[in-house]
Structure 1
Amino acid sequence: YQEKQTAGYSFWPVGGWDGLFHTLAGAVREHGGEIRLQTRAHRVVIENGRVVAVALEPVQKAIPTEAFNLEYVEAEAVICTLPVWNVLDVVWEQDLPDWYVAQVKLLAQDQFRVCWLGFYVASHEPIYTGTSLTELAVWFEAPYSRLPGWAFLTSGMDPTTAPEGKHLFNCGFAFQGLRDREWIERKFVEAERDLAAMYPNAFTPRNIIWKKRHLVAHPPFGVIQKPCLVGRYRPDYRVPNIEGLLFASETFRSRGIGVDRAARAALTCVEQVLGFRIPEFKNSWHY
């Protein structure tokens, strides 16, 4: 905040997420890495307490019933980015300590999932409080939905996300635990009333060009951060008793929030494999 005068989680990558993914892919290939598309990680192969390979399976099938046509890629180290609710799909429970599996399953419960419902809105005039086009607006309880949430102008972060003279608004109303369809549909209606109340001069039919609902629940945003569900209460990114296996997910032990948290988790695991702190990041906030 001191450097940018912008809230720490108020951002949008220039070029959008697609541009970010292509940039990362280009960097991997430039340094000799290989990216396997249309390929699913079937299982991490563990023998005698160490990683030896990853079993891969093609996504595209010539016959709908094809299964277990595996290719094994030898590996001395594997960094898995799956969250707690998916990680046991690729790592067998029998290869992990019972207490560690129990810790993973505890955090994977539906009741601890952070979800949100929200809107992408295109508008003629910017939808914001008037403080700054790069502001991150937050609230603890909206007047109608009674949900906490956030909002920002995507086009304020990156003007290329909207045509010249137009604006793109993004918001979310957060809730804990998976909910049924009736509850979610009702909250969407209430959330629209919230936005009209919070932005009375901007969230109007005349200003709005279009609006799209979105739901982050399958998969959810992450595991709720509250006492006894953060820090040492989360599974360690270093898998106990298994050499060469690390979990780089913000749902495991990591610091920060959201995408920033996931990036710091990955950095921690990469440095663990390398055996040293990367100089450019040695003073950054991560495990």
Structure 2
Amino acid sequence: MKSSVIVIGAGVGGLTTGALLAKEGYSVHILEKSSKLGGRTASLVYKNHILDNGFHIMPFYKKSAIFSVLKKIGIDSRLKLATVNNIAFHSDSGFHKYPKGMLDLLQLSLIPLKSRIRLLKLLLPMAFTSIEKTEEWDEKSLTDITEKLDSDTKAFFEAVCMLAFADTADHISLGEFARTIIRANPFKGGTSEFAYPDEGGYDSISQVLGDYILEQNGIIETNQSVKKVVIENSKAIGVITGNEKFYPADCVVISYPAYMALNQLFDDGVIDRKFIEKINRLDKKTAVVEVHFALNSKIDNKQVVFPVGNHYTTKGIFFISNITPTVSPHGEHLIIAGTPVNPSVADNSEKIRDIVSTMKKEISSIYPNFTSSLLWERPMAWKLVESVVKEPGMVWKSKMPHQIPDIEGLFFVGDSTISYGIGTDSAAHSSILCYPKIESFLKT
């Protein structure tokens, strides 16, 4: 009989790990505390529109870690994807095409020709360096190389960081930025294309993975919280759920932020306190204010627009219905506008209202028909659980390891563990790196 594995958490990290193990015939049992799969990507239906919990996008399309997992287990054809490639900047001088490759930079009308050449000289060496070399830059901030650039070129970097990291350049590690450039380089097998589920709702990815696990005789329980991971003789032997039920297992995989798990799921003294304190440094919060707008007319044919310039509060406008019309009922259109904010803002309703009001005015200045087309709006402010995937000194191999020394049968996956990229792609990359370690343990 194949070994049994309990996975705590049905986000992308837990589901990709569970799917990889299920493919090899292991008995996979996933426990998820919420009522839906997808973790932070769970969507909802509001006034017949499919709303994501923020804007999510699959980077590097078929070169992404998520797509690699789907392909490895043979279900990549199940997920229908829409390509996101109609992207533009908007500045005071109008719209400017977003460059899809290095050569496109020479035609980037957003910045003067002299600045384009300087930008190309800056990015080309990054695009052709090695992943190993980029690790030497993980302690540096992206602004170390951008601070002396002109304002137009800085605006370009800010827009790229908004698309790739949902954050500002001063929060991004130079190493993580360089790895993104490498992965987008077609001469190194990469792509700058992005994708989104064609049927709407980014959690469609999680549903496809969940269906596969069930087909392989796995078990997925929602509304099932875990109270404790049971460790005996320095080995994980199972978990105790919130209703005090014990689930035995040959190994336990934790798939939610490691610093939370270490402080919540273990008896005192099981995990070395100094190790926990080291991992607690990963508890870094960033926040975003985003607003869904439903319109009764199409105000643009583009898919994504980045307003650039310090006078814009709005950092991204995402035309979801232009990516895939299935997210909205016939005759209506859905967009999201967003901006990174200080985490304290996410708890201040008055500041959120002010930001939303400002974003509406800015969108109206770009699209005069916006106000007359507006049917309803749904603001939200949310905190990212952690931002270690991008901050200098807290990326790639500086994150939580997949295993804790001296404890057998316990593994950690997700974007707070060793991996590169951000969000769901980082979570899937973590699974790709951790899965061989789990299988090696189970075989012994």
User: Match for residue 98 of structure 1?
Assistant: 273
Distance 1:178 1:261, change over 3 A: farther
Q: Secondary structure at the match of 1:46?
A: strand
**Structure 1, residues 168-205: CA drift from partner, whole Å, max 9, x if none?**
112321124343414333323323333333x3335x22
Q: Aligned in 2, Cα 1:231/1:140: closer, same or farther, shift over 3 Å?
A: farther
Amino acid paired to 1:189: S
| 1:166 Cα deviation after fit | 2.6
Length, aligned pairs only: 252
| Conserved? CA contact 1:150–1:171, under 8 Å | yes
Q: Hey, what does 2:295 align to over in structure 1? A: 123
Is the alpha carbon distance of 1:183 and 1:209 closer, same or farther for their aligned partners in structure 2, counting shifts above 3 Å? closer
Tell me the secondary structure at the aligned position of residue 391 of structure 2: coil
1:153 aligns with 2:319: yes
Question: What SS class does the counterpart of residue 406 from structure 2 fall into?
Answer: coil
Equivalent-residue separation in structure 1 for 2:308 and 2:259 (angstroms): 27
Q: Percent identity?
A: 20
Query: Aligned ranges for residues 135-284 of structure 1 at < 5 Å?
Result: 136-138=304-306, 143-145=311-313, 149-179=315-345, 180-181=347-348, 182-197=350-365, 199-202=366-369, 204-217=370-383, 220=384, 222-224=386-388, 225-275=390-440
Shift in Å at residue 127 of structure 1? 4.6
Give the drift of 1:255: 1.2
Q: CA RMSD in A?
A: 2.8
Contact 1:97 1:240 in 2 (8 A): no
Residue correspondence of structure 1 range 81-96 to structure 2 within 5 A: 81-84=255-258, 86-87=260-261, 88-92=263-267, 94-96=269-271
Q: Give the secondary structure class of the aligned counterpart of 1:250.
A: coil
Residue 157 to residue 254, structure 1, CA distance change in 2 (3 Å): same
One-letter amino acid of the counterpart of residue 40, structure 1: S
Shift of 1:21: 3.7
Contact preservation (8 Å) 1:221, 1:258: no
Give the distance between the partners of 1:241 and 1:247, measured in 2 at CA: 14
TM-score, length basis structure 2: 0.51
Judged with a 3 Å threshold, the aligned counterparts in structure 2 of structure 1 residues 126 and 114 are, in CA distance, closer, same or farther, namely farther
Q: Which runs of 5+ in 1 are unaligned?
A: 59-69, 277-287
| 2:239–2:247 CA contact under 8 A, matched in 1 | yes
Structure 1 residue 49, shift from structure 2 partner: 1.8
1:217-264 CA distance string (max 9 Å, x none) = 2xx253152211212332212223221222212122221112222222
Determine the C-alpha separation between the residues in 2 that align with 1:250 and 1:2. 18
- 3-state SS of the aligned residue for 1:35? strand
Higher percent of residues as helix:
2
Unaligned segments of structure 2, at least 5 residues: 1-59, 63-82, 86-162, 164-191
